[in-house]
Structure 1
Amino acid sequence: MPKYVYDFTEGNRDLRDLLGGKGANLAEMTNLGLPVPPGFTITTEACRSFLADGVLPEGLEEEIAGHLSALEAAMGRGLGQADDPLLVSVRSGAAFSMPGMMETVLNIGLNDDSVHGLAKQAGGNERFAWDSYRRLIQMFGKTVQGIEGELFDDALERLKDGRDDLELEAADLRALVATYKEIVRAHTGEDFPADPYLQMRMAVEAVFSSWNAPRAVLYRRQERIPADLGTAVSVCSMVFGNCGMDSGTGVAFTRDPGTGQQGVYGDYLQNAQGEDVVAGIRNTLPLQELRTIDRPVYDELMHTMRTLEEHYRDLCDIEFTVERGKLWMLQTRVGKRTPGAAFRIAVQLVDQGVIDLDEAVTRVTGDQLAQLMFPRFAEDTGSTVIARGMNASPGAAVGKAVFSTDRAVELAAQGEAVILVRRETNPDDLAGMIAAQGVLTSRGGKTSHAAVVARGMGRTCVCGAEALEVSAADRTFTAPGGVVVSEGDVISIDGTSGAVYLGEVPVVPSPVVEYFEGSGDRDDELVRAVHRLMTHADEVRRMDVRANADTAEDSARARRFGAQGIGLCRTEHMFLGKRRSLVEDLVLAGTDEERDRALAALEPLQKEDFTAIFRAMEGLPVTVRLIDPPLHEFLPDFTELSVKIALAGDEAPEKDRRLLVALKRLHEENPMLGLRGVRLGLIIPGVFAMQVRAIAEAAKAVPGSRPEIMIPLVAAVQELEHVRDEARAILAEAGVEALIGTMIEVPRAALTAAQIAEAAEFFSFGTNDLTQMTWGFSRDDVEAAFFAKYLELGVFGVSPFETLDADGVGRLVEIAVEQGRSTRPDLKLGICGEHGGDPDSIHFCHRAGLDYVSCSPFRIPVARLEAARATLACAGSDTR
Structure 2
Amino acid sequence: MAKKLVYFFGAGKADGNSGMKNLLGGKGANLAEMAGHKKLKLPVPPGFTITTEVCTLFYENKQKYPKELKGQVAKAMAKVEKIMGKKFGDPEDPLLMSIRSGARASMPGMMETILNAGLTTKTIPGLIKKTNNPRFVYDAYRRLMMMYSDVVMEKGSGIEPKTDHDGIRYKLEHALETAKKKKGYKSDTNLTVEDLMKLCDKFKKIIKQTLKKPFPDSPEEQLWGSVGAVFSSWMGKRAIAYRKIEKLPDWWGTAVNVQTMVFGNTGDNSATGVAFTRNPATGENMFFGEWLPNAQGEDVVAGLRTPNPVNKAGKTKDTRHLPSLEENMPKLYKELHSYEIRLENHYSDMQDIEFTIEEGKLWMLQTRIGKRNGQAAIRMAVEMAKSKLISKETAIMRVRPDQIDELLHPSVDPLAEKEGTLLGKGLPAGPGGAMGQVVFTADDAAAWAKKGKKVILVRAETSPEDVHGMHAAEAILTAKGGMTSHAALVARGWGKCCIVGCSEVQINLQKKNMSVNGNTLKEGDWITLNGSKGTFYEGRLKLNP
Q: TM-score, normalised by structure 1?
A: 0.57
2:351 paired with 1:316: yes
Q: Any runs of at least 4 consecutive aligned residues in structure 1 with deviations exceeding 3 A, and if so which? A: none
Amino acid at match of 1:92: S
Amino acid at match of 2:221: L
Counterparts in 2 of 1:296-315, with a 5 A limit?
296-315=331-350
Q: Which residue of 1 aligns with 2:435?
A: 398
Residue number among 252, 256, 259 corresponding to 2:275 in the alignment = 252
Structure 1 counterpart SS, 2:281:
coil
Structure 2 counterpart SS, 1:493:
strand
Residue number among 174, 190, 194 corresponding to 1:167 in the alignment = 190
Structure 2 counterpart SS, 1:298:
helix
2:25 paired with 1:24: no
Query: Hey, what's the Cα distance between the residues in 2 that align with 1:193 and 1:62?
Result: 22
Residue number among 170, 174, 186 corresponding to 2:209 in the alignment = 186
Q: Which residue of 1 aligns with 2:501?
A: 464
Query: Hey, what's the Cα distance between the residues in 2 that align with 1:214 and 1:129?
Result: 33
Amino acid at match of 2:46: P
Structure 2 counterpart SS, 1:327:
strand
CA contact (8 A) 2:434 2:543 kept: no
Per-residue deviation, residues 587-639 of structure 1 (Å, max 9, x unmatched): xxxxxxxxxxxxxxxxxxxxxxxxxxxxxxxxxxxxxxxxxxxxxxxxxxxxx
Gaps of 5+ in 1: 510-880
Tell me the CA shift for residue 190 of structure 1.
2.6
Structure 1 counterpart SS, 2:45:
coil
Residue number among 249, 265, 269 corresponding to 2:292 in the alignment = 269
Structure 1 counterpart SS, 2:295:
coil
Query: Hey, what's the Cα distance between the residues in 2 that align with 1:414 and 1:433?
Result: 16
Tell me the CA shift for residue 393 of structure 1.
1.1
Percent of aligned positions that are identical: 46
Residue number among 364, 369, 381 corresponding to 1:329 in the alignment = 364
Query: Hey, what's the Cα distance between the residues in 2 that align with 1:256 and 1:471?
Result: 34
Per-residue deviation, residues 708-749 of structure 1 (Å, max 9, x unmatched): xxxxxxxxxxxxxxxxxxxxxxxxxxxxxxxxxxxxxxxxxx
Q: Which residue of 2 aligns with 1:695?
A: none
CA contact (8 A) 2:413 2:544 kept: yes
User: Which of the two has greater helix per residue?
Assistant: 1
Tell me the CA shift for residue 397 of structure 1.
1.2
CA contact (8 A) 1:403 1:475 kept: yes
Query: Hey, what's the Cα distance between the residues in 2 that align with 1:226 and 1:41?
Result: 21
Residue number among 89, 96, 116 corresponding to 1:80 in the alignment = 89
Amino acid at match of 1:154: H
Amino acid at match of 1:159: A
Query: Hey, what's the Cα distance between the residues in 2 that align with 1:120 and 1:290?
Result: 30
Per-residue deviation, residues 138-177 of structure 1 (Å, max 9, x unmatched): 1000000016310111111111114121110011111111
Residue number among 224, 239, 246 corresponding to 1:216 in the alignment = 239
Q: CA RMSD in A?
A: 1.1
Query: Hey, what's the Cα distance between the residues in 1 that align with 2:511 and 2:126?
Result: 45
Q: Which residue of 1 aligns with 2:445?
A: 408
Amino acid at match of 1:508: N
2:524 paired with 1:488: yes
Amino acid at match of 1:370: D
User: Greater shift after overlay, 207-216 or 462-471?
Assistant: 462-471
The structure with the largest alpha-carbon Rg is 1
Tell me the CA shift for residue 473 of structure 1.
2.6
CA contact (8 A) 2:168 2:207 kept: no
Structure 1 counterpart SS, 2:251:
coil
Query: Hey, what's the Cα distance between the residues in 1 that align with 2:232 and 2:168?
Result: 17
2:164 paired with 1:128: no
Structure 1 counterpart SS, 2:367:
strand
Structure 2 counterpart SS, 1:255:
coil
Amino acid at match of 1:383: G
Q: Which residue of 2 aligns with 1:285?
A: 308
Structure 1 counterpart SS, 2:268:
coil
Tell me the CA shift for residue 501 of structure 1.
1.0
Q: Which residue of 2 aligns with 1:357?
A: 392
Residue number among 6, 15, 20 corresponding to 2:20 in the alignment = 15
Structure 1 counterpart SS, 2:102:
strand
Query: Hey, what's the Cα distance between the residues in 1 that align with 2:381 and 2:204?
Result: 51
2:190 paired with 1:155: no
Tell me the CA shift for residue 374 of structure 1.
2.0
Tell me the CA shift for residue 340 of structure 1.
0.8
Amino acid at match of 1:386: L
Query: Hey, what's the Cα distance between the residues in 1 that align with 2:130 and 2:22?
Result: 37
Amino acid at match of 1:177: C
Structure 1 counterpart SS, 2:366:
strand
Q: Which residue of 2 aligns with 1:668?
A: none
Q: Which residue of 2 aligns with 1:242?
A: 265
Amino acid at match of 1:213: G
Q: TM-score, normalised by structure 2?
A: 0.92
Q: Which residue of 1 aligns with 2:55?
A: 47
Size of the aligned set, in residue pairs, is 507
2:533 paired with 1:497: yes
Structure 2 counterpart SS, 1:411:
helix
Q: Which residue of 2 aligns with 1:6?
A: 7
Structure 1 counterpart SS, 2:493:
helix
Tell me the CA shift for residue 84 of structure 1.
0.5
Tell me the CA shift for residue 335 of structure 1.
0.2
Query: Hey, what's the Cα distance between the residues in 2 that align with 1:475 and 1:119?
Result: 45
CA contact (8 A) 2:307 2:482 kept: yes
Structure 1 counterpart SS, 2:277:
strand
Amino acid at match of 1:433: M
Query: Hey, what's the Cα distance between the residues in 2 that align with 1:472 and 1:395?
Result: 27
Per-residue deviation, residues 223-257 of structure 1 (Å, max 9, x unmatched): 01111101101000000000001111100001000
Structure 2 counterpart SS, 1:33:
coil
Tell me the CA shift for residue 195 of structure 1.
1.2
